[in-house]
Amino acid sequence: MVNTLPFIEKDGRKLSIQSMRVQGEERELQVLSSAAGYYIGTLCDIGGPNSRDSGYYASEEDAQADLDAGTFMPRLNP
* C-alpha dihedral sign at 13, 72, 18, 44: negative
Query: What pTM did the predictor assign?
Result: 0.90
Contact criterion met (CB below 8 Å) for 56 and 37: yes
Contact criterion met (CB below 8 Å) for 27 and 43: yes
Residue 3 has pLDDT above 70, yes or no: no
How deeply is 23 buried, as exposed, middle or buried, from its count of CB atoms within 10 A (0-12, 13-18, 19+)? middle
- Convert the pLDDT of each residue in 30-74 to its tens digit: 999 999 999 999 999 999 999 999 999 999 999 999 999 999 988
Residue 26 has pLDDT above 90, yes or no: yes
